[in-house]
A and B are shown apart, each in its own frame.
Chain A
Amino acid sequence: MVEYELIYTLYIFIGCVIGLVMGALPGLTVTMTIVLVVSLTFGWEMIPALAFIIGAFAGGVMGGSISAIALNIPGTAAAVSTVFDGYPMKMNGEANNALGISLFVSMVGGIFGLIVLGFVGPMLGTIALKFGPQEYFLITMWGITLVAVLSQGKMTKGLIAAFLGVFVGMIGMDPITGLMRFTMGTKVLSGGINYIAAMIGLFGMKEVLVQLKKSKTFKVDENYKIKDLFPKFKLIKTLIPTMTWSAVIGWIIGLLPGTGGDIGSLVAYGATKSIIKNPSKKFGEGAYEGVAAPETANDAAIGGALTTMLTLGIPGDSITAVIIGAFYMHGLLPGPTFMFTEKKYFYYILIFLGIGIIFAYFTGLFGANLMLKVLKFPKWALVPLITLLCIIGSYALNNNMNDVLIMLFFGFLGYIFERCKYPVAPIVLGIILGPMIETNFRQALIGSKSFGGLLISFATRPLALIILALIIGSFVLQFFTFKPKSSEPEEKKAKI
């Protein structure tokens, strides 16, 4: 039924390398990588094209975290939460551990997603449809509670930053009425603020400005060999619980049509924070768990997103939307029946993804090694290089100069915030989640016709009720600080 030709391996490998390189470059998101790859495969047969596309998918997700850790610029939106602890780890001189953990758990997460897709995926696909605006609203609200973590003890300042982010997210076209808001009549703002441009500015460009101020160099003193990038077994063992729940969270959130790896990794990070009471270091200062959670989740999300695509014919996230577009381009209409009548695509995708994830891990090791070498460049070479990457990356997003201006603006804003000891991460959180919260809240409100009806609907929708319970649970957990008697803090079994 499924004939595997050796040449497919080559396609996967090439796709993987392209994906990894593009994913590692800030601003070149996985979605864009897939767009590029899809357009390259226009004249191809569907199967080799799929091999190429899936390879790039696996590589791209893996690549995003490399630059997040090494340069403090998340290569993709799904790597935002990797920055929170990954970059501090690098600053503590643990770049090799951070990269090693990130790559390894990514592989584990990806394979987990794949296995779930292969065995129970077809049965679980329909769950995705049960998620309405109420459920999305609750999940995104849960996501925004992360502000508490990201504020690092400066709650007021964190809230100010988050509100700024939510406000920035409102700029542009009103999602419900289509009217322009806060654009001041300019064309620059009419498209809204692209959150990836803002993110590159707030993390990458800000870092450049900070470095200009300091006279010290980036701190990569030691010589790493590639074998240092293999994580130590002991370290991985302590991360197993974190990986377990993060993989499940990532997979489920990837499954939902409205959300992908970016939200998945944020929620996994938040959940890990509320479950683990004494991480290896404080969250936000280089906790291993803080790198492992989002990285597992964003790769597990691949399997989830593909499940929705394969079982329902609807995209699980923006990347699978492009892959569905590729099916269209080959004259195939994806849909629920399509995947039963053309079951071979299902198996091909499974096989390609499996190979792709393993390739991505090993090419990722080389890539990370290379990145560590780049970091040893003298500062006068590195700082302009990062600036250049920020500019190219933000331009490449939408081929639009406006995004570069926005990126620069947020770079300065981030710098000012940092000087005034405000955390910048909540701004990004606000920009990403604000519009989702707003749209889903207003959709839910329109659907239930009155505010009272909306409140009731939270109680009458079973899934909404479950999520609400989980949220309340995670808050309650915050108050009962488990003081573990033994030195094994991870004893607490995840309830998710």
Chain B
Amino acid sequence: MKRFKILSLILSLILIASFGLTGCTQPAAEAPTPAPVPAPAPAPEPPKLDYPTRPINAVVGFSAGGPTDVIARGIVPILQEIVGQGIAITNTPGAASATAASGVLNTEANGYTLFFGSEIMSVWQTMGTMDLSPIRDFIPIKLVAEATPVLAVPPDSPFESAEEFIQYAIDHPGELTIGTAGPGTVPHISGLLLEQKLGCKFTFVPHQGGGPAVTAVMGGQVDATIEMVQSMVEAHKGGNLKILASFTNDTIPGLDDIVPIGTVYEELSEYIPYGPYFGLFAAKGTPQEIIDYLEEKMNEAMKDPAWDEYCTRIYLTQIDYSDEEAIEYLTNWTSKAAWLLYDMGAAKSSPEDFGIERLK
């Protein structure tokens, strides 16, 4: 009897271990091929593209309801109609979406697992999250939208304008607290930009995402919060917070009362508008025909009036970059963000270590 018990225990252990091992082998097998492998030249012979024959999976690295997810769910259903195959959105949150990205890279690069990424991809390397890069490890199929960060203060704040706020921060370095969506995010970078260019000093309070940062400013837990305009505009209208300025050179269409900070501080104008980007990515190594196919379909999807209306309603700026243009855009963006974070002492490692060059 005793022997049976031991035997059955061992058997079940083996069973479970084998489950575990099969889970392990996938990443392990892929480990020896380091990510920066140039895409092999695709064989030119197939005359007709046999894609997609089954549903596609679009992975979002943040939880449902967040900005990246909301934007993905705006464009993907339109794309799905055009492609004629189901495209499921899967949320795999964790490690500033790097968990999802490495998951995508661990699957076969056949265009059936795509990554819907955002600007945080640009700072993974310098922030020490993971050694992954949007250009080296991914192919941007299409960058679709940019959001606009704004600076807001609590409703009872003594500051009525961005000048007053920044002047106070220059006179009292480190006294004002600014809530951000987390280290290395656009709100953080935007705040650092103010510090670097205007000579003021803030204390940054990182939150677990944009939502909590907005809540914090509404309740006066911080002196200000930088977040995307769509998550604050309703509270601004309702008097639950005051938006002092947007990080743009021109007014946001439909929001004329928000002062563009570029008109107040000329020295900032060349660095802005500087908002997070969102786009559809495929793993490096995906056949070029598939990329071309998806790009073409994305072009169609973005012409849909529903997408246009969607963007207008939630104050997104539409962008339309693919191929070389997208690479150039990403290179610039990454370089700006990485060096700013590094220069201001917020980054873990130098962008140079990853071959990110400083912009002229």
Contacts and interface: CB of A to CB of B under 8 A. Distances in A.
Interface of A: 31, 34-35, 38-39, 42-43, 128-133, 172-173, 175-180, 187-188, 190-192, 194, 209, 212-213, 215, 257-258, 312-315, 318, 321-326, 328-329, 331, 333-338, 340, 387, 391, 398-402, 404-405, 408, 411, 439, 443, 446-447, 449
Given A173-B95, A173-B96, A315 B216 contact: no
B92 A398 contact: yes
A325 B231 CA distance: 11
B238 A42 contact: no
A321 B234 contact: no
Contacts of A449: 174, 203
A442 to B, nearest CB: 9
B234 A328 contact: no
Interface stretch (B22-30, B45-53, B163-171): B22-30
B205 A328 contact: no
Given A176-B183, A187-B27, A337-B238, A391 B19 contact: yes
Nearest to A178: B183
16 contacts: A34-B64, A43-B77, A175-B208, A176-B206, A180-B95, A187-B102, A187-B130, A314-B214, A321-B63, A321-B211, A323-B65, A333-B234, A334-B234, A336-B238, A336-B239, A447-B222
A175 B20 CA distance: 29
Given A178-B206, A325-B64, A334-B234, 17 more contacts: A34-B64, A131-B219, A173-B96, A180-B129, A187-B102, A190-B99, A191-B93, A315-B211, A322-B64, A323-B65, A324-B65, A328-B230, A329-B73, A333-B313, A335-B240, A411-B16, A443-B206
Contacts of B8: 212
B9 to A, nearest CB: 6
Contacts of A212: 8-9, 12
A130 B219 contact: yes
A176 B183 CA distance: 7
Top 10 A-B residue pairs of the complex, sorted by shortest distance between their CB atoms: A335-B234, A191-B94, A325-B65, A129-B219, A178-B183, A336-B238, A191-B99, A337-B238, A132-B221, A35-B64
B287 interface: no
**Interface size class of chain B, counting residues whose CB lies under 8 Å from the partner chain:** 35 or more
Given A173-B129, A325-B69, A192 B12 contact: no
Given A321-B211, A405-B20, A443 B205 contact: yes
Given A132-B219, A178-B127, A325-B66, A447 B177 contact: yes
A399 B91 CA distance: 8
Contacts of A257: 211-212, 215
A397 to B, nearest CB: 9
Which of A187, A257, A325, A399: most chain B CB closer than 10 A?
Answer: A187
Interface string B51-76: 00000000100011110011001100
B99 A331 contact: no
B78 to A, nearest CB: 11
Interface in B93-130: 93-96, 98-99, 102-103, 127-130
A324 B314 CA distance: 13
A447 B26 CA distance: 44
B96 A39 contact: no
B233 A172 contact: no
B303 interface: no
B297 interface: no
Interface string B166-193: 0000000010010000111000000000
B317 interface: no
Contacts, number: 190
A449 B205 CA distance: 11
B5 interface: yes
Given A39-B73, A190-B130, A400-B92, A331 B314 contact: yes
Nearest to A391: B19
B237 interface: yes
B91 A398 contact: yes
B26 A401 contact: yes
A108 to B, nearest CB: 29
Contact of B235 (A38, A336, A439): A336
B233 A335 contact: yes
Contacts of B94: 172, 190-192, 194, 398, 400
A213 B5 contact: yes
Interface of B: 5, 8-9, 12, 16, 19-20, 23-24, 26-27, 59, 63-66, 69-70, 73-74, 77, 89-96, 98-99, 102-103, 127-130, 174, 177, 182-184, 203-208, 211-212, 214-216, 218-222, 230, 233-235, 237-240, 309-310, 313-314, 348
Contacts of B230: 328, 333
B310 A172 contact: no
Contact of B77 (A42, A173, A180): A42
Given A178-B128, A213-B5, A325-B66, A447 B205 contact: yes
Given A39-B73, A190-B98, A405-B20, A338 B205 contact: no
B268 to A, nearest CB: 25
Which of B69, B98, B219: most chain A CB closer than 10 A?
Answer: B219
Contacts of A191: 93-95, 98-99
Contacts of B235: 312-313, 335-336
Contact of A178 (B65, B184, B233): B184
Given A38-B64, A314-B211, A314-B218, A399 B128 contact: no
Contacts of A258: 212, 215
A134 B70 CA distance: 31
Given A175-B208, A331-B314, A391-B19, A398 B102 contact: no
A336 B240 contact: yes
Contacts of B27: 187-188
B69 A172 contact: no
A408 B16 contact: yes
A184 to B, nearest CB: 14
A338 B92 CA distance: 30
Which of A321, A324, A326: most chain B CB closer than 10 A?
Answer: A321
Contact of B240 (A180, A312, A405): A312
Nearest to A194: B94
Contacts of A39: 73, 89
Contact of A177 (B23, B77, B183, B222): B183
A176 B348 CA distance: 13
B63 A318 contact: yes
Nearest to A212: B12
Contacts of A333: 230, 233-234, 313-314
